Structure 1
Amino acid sequence: MQFRIEKTTITVNQPDRASLLGAVAGRWRAGQGFALATLNLDHLVKLRRSAVFRSAYAAQDLVVADGNPVVWLSRLARRPVALVPGSELVLPLARLATDCGVTVALLGSTDATLQAAAKHMRHAVPGLQIVLCLAPPMGFDPEGPQAQEMLAQVAASGARLCFLALGAPRQEQLAALGRRLAPGVGFVSVGAGLDFLAGTQVRAPVWVRRLALEWLWRMVSNPRRLAGRYAACAAILPAEVAKALAQRPRAAP
């Protein structure tokens, strides 16, 4: 499934979780790093508005569908992909890292959140080695000197998997920079994934997620912050539906 924004093409190139985990394990075996982005409708809005964000997304090696609208659009295009929420990738990737002998770094959020998330992860994944926790200061520039220093710390720690919990677009920008400065590390943008594990943010109940209504649950929980965001997402849907229909494979003559 592809999304064309300006002159940038974003491809959801990992159709499901199993394919993603296989791709990550393959990169570790080959001694390669990666950047993993989790595409949702809010990202598509931001990609339309920001050339910097488009450049950062173009640098991502692996992209999954993190949002039901992206999944629905893929079905319209007859190029279906499965829902793979970034927040649900933390523990599966941590287990894979443990199985592969890969150490882990956490970067983002706050010190307290990272420590609580690390404690939860170690309990859930016996043998997991978290070698570094870094919480950027307020006003952190994901492409500035401080970002470069943090990425150098990640590389020096020996971690080959780094979870980024900064929110879009900063986490994707930092991942793109990390691909250049720490090419042996896998950078995974997980948004609020570490906050959910730490308990500092509460995710929608499972039954709400199964009904594909997590967006509504979140908006009701924080209407001032999210109403405008979801309105912008709704506004781009007609154009994205048209683009999806145009991607349908043509029948053989």
Structure 2
Amino acid sequence: MDWSLQTSSGQVRGGSSAVTLNTPSSDALLNDIRRHLVRERGFSVATLNLDHVVKLRGHKEFRDAYARHTHVVADGNPIVWLARLSGQPMHLAPGADLLHPVIAIAAEMGLPVAFVGGTEASLVEAATRLEAEHPGLRIVARISPSMGFDPTGAEAESVIDQLQEAGAQLCLLALGAPRQEIFAAHAQERLRRTGFLSIGAGLDFVSGHQRRAPRVMRALKAEWLWRMASNPRRLAGRYGRCFAVLPHLVVAAVRSRKVQS
């Protein structure tokens, strides 16, 4: 099956499936999130990286969920470079980096916030730290689904009920891909005024249950290397598959640029 990467103003390569990067930077995203929250309009934010690209190629439900997200940003330098190679300006907007700015908006506005994903211990610690750092933050639900969580199954419906009862207007999802994106798209059908932001391990970074790469590694665009060295058994295969799709995407980006010129 073919796969294509699009930007809001151009396509890197046509194909039977496409993901659209429709938000060029974290600043643009944060401004739009604020507008949605002020107007009590729901939204869903997906953060595209190469691991998602690999999963999207063979996972129709994941592709369908991505297509229903209101915002897609580039979470990973390869995605940024590919977009720019195709002639479209994109800037890095990792989910973990978006967590604090989005929480700050919610605290400023006094909006009810929910966490879904991770362990109960991690959620409690993350909530404690975020409430200390962001005065006025209102965390109304901390939900730790089971290990075999089905993002569209009976447990998902129960989680949606809990979010609705709590009145959550912002929900941070730490379920990992593709579950968090599939759940966001599914929950958005019922919770029209709730905003969903998929942040992967973001809450675990806040709580200290996982350690993020040092700033110097991030500045050198080598966060992936730090992560792989930290857990090579789990991540070596994942990054190998990510690197395997890069040549195809580079060629597609170059062809797209030629078509546009």
Q: Secondary structure at the match of 2:260?
A: coil
AA matched with 1:250? Q
> In the alignment, is residue 250 of structure 1 matched against residue 260 of structure 2?
yes
* Candidates 87, 94, 97, aligned match of 2:103: 94
- Deviation for aligned residue 1:5: 8.1
Q: 1:103 to 1:225 in 2, by over 3 A?
A: same
AA matched with 2:249? E
Task: Give the match for residue 202 of structure 1.
Answer: 211
Matched-pair contact (CA < 8 Å) for 1:31–1:184: yes
- Deviation for aligned residue 1:3: 6.1
Map 1:1-253; keep pairs closer than 5 Å.
1=7, 2=11, 7-248=16-257, 250-251=260-261
- Deviation for aligned residue 1:101: 2.9
Mapped to 1, the partners of 2:218 and 2:40 lie a distance apart of 36
- Deviation for aligned residue 1:191: 0.2
Matched-pair contact (CA < 8 Å) for 1:64–1:84: yes
Q: 1:207 to 1:8 in 2, by over 3 A?
A: same
AA matched with 1:246? R
Q: Secondary structure at the match of 2:46?
A: strand
Mapped to 2, the partners of 1:227 and 1:5 lie a distance apart of 30
Per mean C-alpha deviation after superposition, the further-off stretch among 138-147 and 1-10 is 1-10
Mapped to 1, the partners of 2:104 and 2:140 lie a distance apart of 15
AA matched with 1:115? V
Q: 1:159 to 1:204 in 2, by over 3 A?
A: same
Calculate the TM-score normalised by the size of structure 1: 0.96
Q: Output one character per residue of 1:169-191: Cα deviation in whole Å (capped at 9) or x when no partner.
A: 00001001111121111011000
Q: 1:4 to 1:106 in 2, by over 3 A?
A: farther
Matched-pair contact (CA < 8 Å) for 1:75–1:81: yes
AA matched with 2:260? R
Matched-pair contact (CA < 8 Å) for 1:165–1:194: yes
**% of aligned pairs identical?**
48
- Deviation for aligned residue 1:250: 2.6
Q: How many residues get paired?
A: 251
The root-mean-square deviation of aligned C-alpha atoms, in Å, is 1.3
Q: Secondary structure at the match of 2:168?
A: coil
Gaps of 5+ in 2: 1-6
Mapped to 2, the partners of 1:33 and 1:158 lie a distance apart of 13
AA matched with 1:143? T
Q: Secondary structure at the match of 1:181?
A: coil
Matched-pair contact (CA < 8 Å) for 1:104–1:130: yes
Gaps of 5+ in 1: none
Matched-pair contact (CA < 8 Å) for 1:35–1:186: yes
AA matched with 1:197? V
AA matched with 1:75? R
Per mean C-alpha deviation after superposition, the further-off stretch among 124-133 and 21-30 is 21-30
AA matched with 1:182? L
Q: Output one character per residue of 1:197-239: Cα deviation in whole Å (capped at 9) or x when no partner.
A: 0000000100000000111111111111011101100110011
